[in-house]
Structure 1
Amino acid sequence: MSDFLLELASEEIPARMQAAAAEQLRTRLIDGLKAAGLAHGEVTADATPRRLWLIAHDVAAASAASSEERKGPSASAPEQAIAGFLRSTGLTRDQLEERETPKGVVLFAHIKTEGRSAAAILAELVPMIVRDFAWPKSMRCGAASASTASPRWVRPLTGIVALLDGEVVPCAMHGVSSGRMTRGHRIHAPEPIAIDSAGTYAAQLLATKVIVSSAERRTLIADRADVAAAAKGLTIIPDAGLVAENAGLTEWPVPLLGAFDPAFRAVPREVIQLTMRTNQKYFACADAAGALAPNFVCVANLDASDGGVAIVKGNERVLSARLSDAKFFWDQDVATIKAGGLEAFLPKLQDIVFHEKLGTVADKVERVAKLARWLVESGAVPGDADLAEQAAKLCKADLVSATVGEFPEVQGIAGAYLARDAGLDPQVADAIRDHYKPVGQGDDVPTAPVSVAVALADKLDTIVAFFAIGELPTGSRDPFAIRRAALGCCAIILKSGLRLSLRTALMLQSHSVRATRLQLETRAGGQHRTFAQAVALTHQPPPSHPRRKHEAVDWAASERIILFLGERIAVQQREEGVRSDLIDAVIKPSSGDELFHYRVEDDLVRLLARVRALQSVLATEDGTNLLAGVKRAANILRIEEGKDAATFAPETDPALFTESAETALAAALDSAVPAIAAAVAREDFTAAMAALAGLRPAVDAFFDGVIVNAPEQAVRLNRLGLLARLRAAAMSVADFSRIEG
C-alpha cells in the first residue's frame, strides 16, 4: 500500500472557488480509481490560493485481474451482428463459446482483464481529471490560447506534483509535466522545493511558510484576530464567512490591528462594516459595550520585518478613503431629510419600475400601505394602524438615497437610521429596517406589531401581484423570489401566531393589484387616475360569494396562493418532523368545484394545530387502524358512486339495519360527530382527533361483520350511507385520502 500526492499549482485561485474545487478534485479521483478497479483508503483534498492538492492513502500496488462473461447474439445471427459483438469484446470468432440455450445456440465471450499498476492508472487518470475539471470561470493561457479548443484552467497552470510512494508518476497536461518540484511562500520562500513524498508534503511546505490546510488557516486567523483585538480591550464581531474568505486569500495569514478616525462612526455602523468587509476583507471590532469600535483587523499574507506597521498604515489609508466616500453619501441623505423629511425621497420612487405590468415602486408602496393598515384594523395584527400605514409608505424611501445607491446591501437599514434622524416614531424606523426580513433560513423574523404588519403586507403584495400576471416560480426558476416571499409570510404568521384569514387578505390585495393595473391602462392612454380613484372603480372587498367574473378569478387565485403557502409550510416544518402529506390532507380541497366549495384552510396557525393533532393521533394504533378503515370506506364509496347516480341519504334508516355492527357504528357516529364538530368549533383539534379515533372499534367491527354490497338495494344504499357518514366525519378533520399509509 502506498500514498499518492497530487498538487496542481497555478496563479491565485479565487477564494470562493477553492472549497468546491477541492471537493471536485477528491470526487474525480475516487471515481476514476473505482472505474479502474484500484483499491485505496481515505482521500483528503484541500486548497491554498496557489494550489489544489490531494492525498490518497493506502493505494493498492495494482488493480486486480478480472474476468467477465458477456452474452452475445445467436450463432446463426447475421455476420454484421457478430462482427459488432467481436469489436465490443476485442476477441476473434474462434475465441467465442457456442452454448446451447432454450433459445438456441448463443455466442458467449469470456473477457479477461489483467491487473494494471497503480502508477500506470494514475498516469492516465491525472490528465483526465485536469482536462475535464469544471470551474465556474476559467481561462486559456500561453501559445495554445489562440485556439478555442485549447485546455482551460482557473488561472495558468504552473506545476504538477504527482508522487506515488515518493516516486514521480509521469504525466503532462497544459504543457506542464509532472514532477516533485513546487513553490513555497511567494515572498518568504520563492525558490522551488522538491517534495519527498505525500507524508512530508504538509511539513515541507510549512517550513516555507505555507499552511496547506484551509481549516488550520481559518483557526489561526480567528484565534490571532481575537488576540490582536483583545490587546486593545476589543472583541471581533463574529463573521465565519469572512474568516473563510481570508483563509482563501492567504497561505501564511498574519492578522494585524488597525484604526480609523472615530468621526466616521457618524455613518451607520452597517455601512462601515459593509465597506470593511466587502471591499477590504477587514474584521470589524466592538468595544466592551458592544458599540462599533474605530478599529479593524486586516489579514496580511506574510511576516513583515517591521511587525506589520507599514501594512497597517497602508490599509488605514485605503479604508479612510472608502469611509470618506461613505460619509459623503450619508451626509447627502441626512441633508435631504433635514430639508424635507424622509418623505422627500418618495417622488423619485415613481421613476423606478417595479414591473412593467405592475407599475412603479411608488405603486407598490401604495398597495402595501393599504394592506398594512387593514392588517391592523382587522385585528389580525395588534398595533397602531396609523404607524403601520406610515411605515409602509416610507419603507422603500431609502432605495433612492445616495447611501443605498452606493451600498445596496443596506436598503432598509439606511432607511431606519434616516427615519430616526428625521424624528419619526421608533416603531416606524424599526419597521422600515425589518420589512425585508426574513430574507433566508435562520434570519430574524419580525415580531413587533408595526414591523409585522409592514413586512407581511410587502410579501403578500409581491406574491399576489406576480400571481396576477402569471409570473409564477417553476422548478428551476424563481426570478422574482416568490418562494422566498412565501416562506417569509409563513414564518411571520407562525412566529407571531397571527389569526389571519389569508383568503380575505389575498382577495383585498388582488383588488388593489387590479386597481394598479387599471391605473397603468389610463396612463398608457395619456390620462391620470390616482390609486384611490382606481380603487373606487373596481369592486369593493369580496362578499361571501363571488358575483362578478373578476371576483371569481381573484377568489380562485387566492385559493391557489393558499395552497402555494401550504407547500412552503411543508418545507419549513419538515425539519421539525411534521409530515407534508398531513399538511396536504388538512389544507387542500377534497373534491368538487374548488372555486365555490371550500375546504382550503386559510388560517395557517389553525392549519398547523390541526396537522400536529392529526399526526399525534396517527402515531397511535387506533389512529393507524382508523386511517385504514376510513380509506377503505372512501374507496368503496368512490367505486359505488361511479356505478350509478344513486345518492346516499344524509340520515341512515335504523329500521334497515340487520347487523349489530351497523347499529353500533351508527350509534358511535351519533355520539362522535357532534363531539368532533364542537371540538373543531372551539379549535380543540386534539379532542376532535381523539373523538374521531374513538370510532375505530366500531369501524373495525363493521368491516369484519357486514357485507356492504347487500343484495337488497335499500339495505345496500343504507349501508353505503353509513359509510358516507363516516367519510364526512373524517373529512371534517382532514382528507384522509391524501394521507400516506
Structure 2
Amino acid sequence: MPDLLIELFSEEIPARMQTKAAEDLRARLTEALVEAGLTYAGAAAFSTPRRLALTVQGLTGQSPTTREERKGPRVDAPEKAIEGFLRGAGLTREQLEIRDEKKGQVYFATITKPGRPAAEIVAEELDRIIRNFPWPKSMRWGAGSLRWVRPLHSILCILTDEAGEVKVVDLDVDGIRAGNSTEGHRFMGAGRFAVTSFDDYRTKLRRAHVILEAEERAQHIWQEASNQAFASGLELVEDSGLLAEVAGLVEWPVVLMGRIDEAFLGLPPEVLQTSMKEHQKFFSVKNPKTGRIERFVTVANVETADQGATILAGNQKVLAARLSDAKFFWENDLRTVQAQGLEGMGAGLAHVTFHNKLGSQADRIARIAALAREIAPHVGADADLAEQAAKVAKADLQSAMVGEFPELQGLMGRYYAAAAGLPAEVAAACQEHYSPLGPGDAVPSAPVSVAVALADKIDTLTGFWAIDEKPTGSKDPYALRRAALGVDRLVVHGQLSVKLLDVLTGSFNRVGIAISETASQNKQKLGGINISGGAFQVLPEVDGRRVDARAVNLLSFLHDRLKVHLKDDGIRHDVIDACLAMEGNDDLTLLVKRATALADFLKTDDGENLLQGFKRANNILTQAEAKDGVEYSYGADVKFAETDEEKALFAALATAEPAIAIALKSEDFAGAMGAIAALRAPIDAFFTAVQVNAESQVIRRNRLNLLSSIRHICLQAADLTRIEG
C-alpha cells in the first residue's frame, strides 16, 4: 500500500490563509479518494509561507472493481425509453437481461466498472482540486488560465510503495508538470532537490532551512523569545494571534530582541503594544516590576553573519518613526484634554452622524446619559456619576490616537479621563462600557460601568428596532445580536433586578423623539417609520404595566439570545420556555434563577417522576374538560375522598401550596421546587390506587377538581406543560 506525498509550491501565501488552505487540501483530496473507491490509513496537511503539503499514508494501490445492477423499463416500453436506459448504462441491448416480474418482463443491466490505479485517480482529483481551490482571493499570472493565491511554481506528487520505489504521478496543470523535487529556503536553500518519501521530504527541508510544521515554528518562536526576555529580567507579553501570524510569515524563524528608545517609554503600554503589533508584527516585552513595555521581539526569516544586528538596527529605526507618531498623538490629545476637558474633546461628535435616521453621535450620547441615570439605581450606581460617565465615555472617538488605532477606543478614554482628573469610576466606565464584546469577554462589575454599558447597548437596540433595522437570517450589520447578548450577560452576571420592559419603553420614547427631530432636520420621510418618530405603540397592559409594543418584541429578541447563552450552560430550551411563560419574565435575573432551579429539579428522580405525574393529571383533566365542556377549577372537597391515598393527596396539596407561595415570594425557587417535590409520592400513590373517572359523577367531579389543584399548584413555579418528555 503506497504513501502519497503532495506539495504545491508557490510565492508567499498570506499567513491568515495558510492553516485553512492546508485543511481544505487534506479534506477535499481525501474525500475525493474515498469516493473514488480508495482507502487510506492516515493523512496530515502542513503549510509554510511558500508551500502546502499533504501526506496520505497507507493508500490502496487500486480502486476495486464494482458491479451495479440497474432496473430498466419493461420490454414493451417505448423505444425511446429503452434507448435512454441503454445510454445511461453504457450498454447494448444484447447485454441486457430480461426478467419476469408481476407487471411483465423487465430489462435489467449489470454494469461492471473495473478498478483504476491510485496514480490515475490522484492525478484526476488533484487536477480538479487545484483548479477549483477555495482561496478567499486568487490571481492569474502569465498567459495561463489557472488561478492560485500567488503564482504556483511547482507541484510535487509521488507515490512511494512499501519497497521504497517512487512513482511520480502523471499530472500537468496548466503547463506545470508534477515531479519529485522541491526547494528549500528562499535565501538559505541550495536549489532544488529530489525526495523519495514524506520523512525524506521533511528531513531535507529542515536541512534546507525550512521547518514544515507551523506548530513547531510557533513553539520555537515563543520559547526563544521567552528565554531572551527572561535572560534580561523581562517578560514576554502573550499574544496567541500574533504568534500564529508570525509563524506563517517565516519558514526558518530567527528570534531577535531589540530596545525601545527611552523617549517612548512614557507612552501607555497598550499604545506601544498596539503600534508594534499592527505596524511591525513585533512582540512586546515588559518589565514585570513596572508594567512598562521596554523592549520588543522581532522574528526574521534569515540567519545573518552579524547575528541579526543589521536587521535589528533597521527595525529599530522604522519603529522609532512609528512611535514618534504615536507620541505626537498622545501628547496632542493630552493637551486637548487639559485645555478643554474630556467633554471638549468629544464636542466634535455633534458633527458625526451615528445613523441618518437616529441623529449624530452627540444625540446618541445624550440619550445614553439619560438612560444611564435612569438605570443607575437598579445597579447600585450613583446616578450623577453614571450620567457624567456616559457623557464622556465616547469622547476618545475624537482623539488622534483612536483615529490611528481604532482598537484602542475606550482604553484611551480611560487614560484621558484620568488625565482630566475625573473620578476613577468615570474613567473605568470609559473603557468598560463597550464590554462584553462577545460570549467569552469579561463582564464589567463596577456599578457605574454597568449602568453605562447597559444604557449604551439598550440605546443601540431600541434605536435600530425603531427604524426597523432588525437582524435577518445571517445578516446583522449593526451587531445587534452581540448587543442583546451583552445586555443579557450584564444583567445576569451582576444579578441585577431590572424590569426591562419599563427600561425599553423609556428608551423607545427617547429614540422616537430623536427620529422625529432627525426627520424634521433632514426634511425627509423615514421608510417604514411614522414621521412622528415611532411614537408609543400601545399594547394591553403587561403584568399591570403600560409598555411599548416594540419593547415586547425586543424583549423576545433578548430572550432568544439568553436561551442560546443558557443552552451553553446546560439548560435545555424547553426548561427556559417553561420559565419564560411565567409572569415577570422581563426580570432576567429572576428568570435565570427560576430556570436553573427547574433544570436542577428535573435532573432528580423526584423531578422526573413528578413531571410525569403532572402530565398525567393535566392530560386527564384536559380531556375531561374538552369532553364535558366545563372547567374543573372550583376546588375539590376532602369530604368526598374515598381512599386513604386520596385523603393523603389532599393533605399534601394543602401543605405544599402555602410553602410554594412563600418560597416564590422570596424568590427561593429551589425551595419552591423542593416543596413541589414533596408531592411526588402522594401523586404516585393516588394514580396507583384511584380511578379518576368513577361511576359516581360527584366523586368523578371531585377527583377532576383535585387534579386541577395539582395543575394549579405545579404551574405556580413554571409552565410544566412546555417541558418535553
For this structure pair, what is the TM-score category when the shorter chain's length is used for normalisation? over 0.9
Q: 1:525 to 1:676 in 2, by over 3 A?
A: same
C-alpha contact 1:138 1:155 (8 A) present in aligned 2: yes
Alpha carbons of 1:81 and 1:658: their partners in 2 closer, same or farther (altered >3 Å)? Answer: farther
Mapped to 2, the partners of 1:459 and 1:285 lie a distance apart of 35
* Residue type of the alignment partner of 1:683: E
AA matched with 1:92: T
SS for the counterpart of 2:187 is: coil
For 1:533-572, list aligned pairs within 5 A.
Answer: 554-572=547-565
Q: Which residue of 2 aligns with 1:428?
A: 426
TM-score, scaled to structure 1: 0.91
**Which residue of the partner structure matches residue 528 of structure 2?**
none
Q: Relative to 1, partners in 2 of residues 1:671 and 1:91: Cα closer, same or farther, differing over 3 Å?
A: same
CA contact (8 A) 1:669 1:726 kept: yes
SS of alignment partner, residue 265 of structure 2 = helix
Distance (whole Å) between structure 2 residues aligned to residue 545 and residue 232 of structure 1: 65
Instruction: Give, in whole Å, the separation in 1 of the partners of 2:642 and 2:383.
Output: 64
- TM-score, with length taken from structure 2: 0.93
Assess, with a 3 A threshold, how the Cα gap between structure 1 residues 542 and 91 changes in structure 2: closer, same or farther.
Answer: closer
- Cα distance, 1:666 vs. partner? 3.7
Contact kept in structure 1, 2:158 and 2:167, CA below 8 Å: yes
With 322-331 and 31-40 compared, the bigger mean Cα shift is at: 322-331
Contact (CA 8 Å) 1:566, 1:583: kept in 2 or not?
Answer: no
Q: Mean Cα displacement is larger for which, 296-305 or 568-577?
A: 568-577
Does 1:583 find its partner at 2:581?
Answer: no
3-state SS of 1:285 partner? strand
1:8 is aligned to 2:8: yes
Match of 1:651 in 2: 635
Matched residue pairs, number?
713
Quick check: 1:237–1:284 contact (8 Å CA) kept in 2? yes
- Which residue in 1 is equivalent to 2:515? 517
What letter corresponds to residue 160 of structure 1 in structure 2?
Answer: I
Contact kept, 8 Å, 2:98 with 2:108, in 1: the verdict is yes
Matched residue, 1:728: 712
Residues 13, 641 of structure 1: CA spacing in aligned structure 2 closer, same or farther, 3 A cutoff?
farther
Correspondence for 2:234 = 234
Q: What whole-Å deviation, never above 9, does each CA across 1:474-533 have from its counterpart, x for those lacking one?
A: 33111111111122222222222222222222222222222322332443469xxxxxxx
SS of the residue 1:43 aligns to: strand
Which residue identity is paired with 2:291? A
Of the structure 1 ranges 326-335 and 708-717, higher mean CA displacement relative to structure 2 is found in 708-717
Offset at residue 254 of structure 1 (A): 0.5
Q: CA deviation at 1:245?
A: 0.4
The yes-or-no answer on 1:483 pairing with 2:485 is no
Amino acid at match of 2:445: T
Q: CA deviation at 1:183?
A: 1.8
Segment drifting more, 443-452 vs 646-655: 646-655
Structure 2 residue aligned with 1:596: none
Q: CA deviation at 1:650?
A: 3.5
Amino acid at match of 2:399: S
Name the amino acid aligned to 1:2: P
Distance 1:392-1:252 versus aligned 2 partners, 3 A rule? same
> Is 1:396–2:394 an aligned residue pair?
yes
CA distance in 2 between partners of 1:734 and 1:540 (Å): 30
Q: Structure 2 vs 1, CA of residues 508 and 77 (structure 1 numbering), >3 Å: closer, same or farther?
A: same
Q: Which amino acid aligns with 1:580?
A: H
| Residues 703 and 87 of structure 1: CA distance in aligned 2, closer, same or farther (over 3 Å) | farther
Partners of 1:539 and 1:126 lie apart in 2 by 62
1:163 correspondence with 2:161: no
Q: Quote the residue 1:675 is aligned against.
A: 659
CA shift for structure 1 position 82: 2.3
**Aligned match of 2:200:** 200
1:501 counterpart letter in structure 2: K
The one-character-per-residue Cα deviations of 1:108-161 (angstroms, maximum 9, x if unpaired) are 2222222211111112111011012101111111113xxxxx331111111100
Q: In the aligned structure 1, how far is the partner of 2:53 from the partner of 2:618?
A: 62
Q: SS in structure 2 opposite 1:451?
A: helix
After TM superposition, the structure 1 = structure 2 runs for residues 68-107 of structure 1, keeping only pairs within 5 Å, are: 68-107=68-107
Q: Please report how far the alpha carbon of residue 699 of structure 1 lies from its aligned counterpart in structure 2 after TM superposition.
A: 2.9
* 2:491 is the counterpart of 1:503: no
- Map Cα deviations across residues 379-399 of structure 1 (whole Å, 9 max, x no partner): x21232211111111111111
| Equivalent residues of 1:39, 1:59 under 8 A apart | yes
Give distance in 1, aligned partners of 2:712 and 2:554. 26
Kept in 1: contact 2:356–2:518 (CA 8 A): no
Equivalent residue number for residue 529 of structure 1: none
Q: Is the 8 A contact 2:538 2:549 kept in 1?
A: no
Equivalences for residues 670-709 of structure 1 within 5 A: 670-706=654-690, 708=692
Matching residue's letter, 2:380 = P
1:443 aligns with 2:441: yes
Which residue identity is paired with 2:365? V
Gap change, CA 1:540 and 1:624, over 3 Å in 2:
closer
Alpha-carbon offset, residue 455 of structure 1: 1.2
Question: Cα deviation per residue 1:79-105 (whole Å; 9 max; x = unaligned)?
Answer: 222222222222222222222334433
Partner of 1:182: 182
Offset at residue 38 of structure 1 (A): 0.9
* Cα distance change on mapping 1:654 and 1:230 into 2, 3 Å: closer
1:267 alignment counterpart = 267
Aligned partners of 2:305, 2:353: CA distance in 1, in Å? Answer: 55
After superposition, the C-alpha distances for 1:153-191 in whole angstroms (9 at most, x for unaligned) are 111111100010022111011321101121211111152
Alpha-carbon distance between aligned partners in 2 of 1:163 and 1:460, rounded to the nearest angstrom? 60
| Paired letter, 1:390 | Q
The residue aligned with 1:258 is 258
Checking the alignment, whether the CA contact within 8 Å between 1:95 and 1:109 is kept in structure 2 is: yes
CA distance in 1, matches of 2:541, 2:197: 79
> 1: CA distance between counterparts of 2:301 and 2:499?
58
Secondary structure at the aligned position of 1:690 is classed as helix
The equivalent residue for 2:46 is 46
SS of residue in 2 equivalent to 1:391? helix
Q: Any conservation in 1 of the 2:537–2:549 contact (CA below 8 Å)?
A: no
Q: Indicate the residue corresponding to 1:494 in structure 2.
A: 492
Query: Matched residues in 2 for 1:479 and 1:644: separation?
Result: 54
Measure, in 1, the Cα distance between the counterparts of 2:174 and 2:628.
Answer: 76
> 2:23 aligned with 1:32, yes or no?
no
Structure-2 separation of matches of 1:641 and 1:143: 81
Contact persistence 1:563–1:588 (CA under 8 A): no
Q: Is the 8 A contact 1:98 1:105 kept in 2?
A: yes
RMSD across aligned C-alpha pairs, in angstroms? Answer: 2.7
1:637–1:482 Cα change, 3 Å: farther
Residues 673 and 82 from structure 1, CA distance in 2 versus in 1: closer, same or farther, beyond 3 angstroms? Answer: farther
Provide the rounded CA distance (Å) in 2 between the counterparts of 1:723 and 1:463.
Answer: 44
- Residues 42, 479 of structure 1: alpha-carbon distance in 2 compared, 3 angstrom cutoff: same
Aligned to 1:593: none
Which amino acid in structure 1 is aligned with residue 219 of structure 2? Answer: T
Cα distance in 1 for partners of 2:216, 2:440 equals 27
Moved more, 311-320 or 109-118: 109-118
The amino acid across from 1:626 in the alignment is L
Q: Deviations over 1:522-546 (max 9, x none)?
A: 43469xxxxxxx99x9889999769
Letter of the 2:244 partner, please give it. Answer: A
Q: Is it true that 1:22 corresponds to 2:6 in the alignment?
A: no
Query: Aligned partners of 1:431 and 1:420: how far apart in 2?
Result: 11
Q: 1:414 to 1:132 in 2, by over 3 A?
A: same
What's the counterpart of residue 527 of structure 2? none
Report the secondary structure of 2:58's partner residue.
Answer: strand
State the Cα distance separating 1:4 from its structure 2 match. 0.7
**Which amino acid in structure 2 is aligned with residue 442 of structure 1?**
G
Distance 1:228 1:174, change over 3 A: farther
Residue aligning to 1:594: none
Displacement after TM superposition at 1:573 (Å): 2.9
Q: 1:546 to 1:487 in 2, by over 3 A?
A: closer
Distance 1:300 1:734 in 2: 63
**Where do 1:369-384 residues align within 5 Å?**
369-377=369-377, 380-384=378-382
Gaps of 5+ in 2: 161-165, 525-531
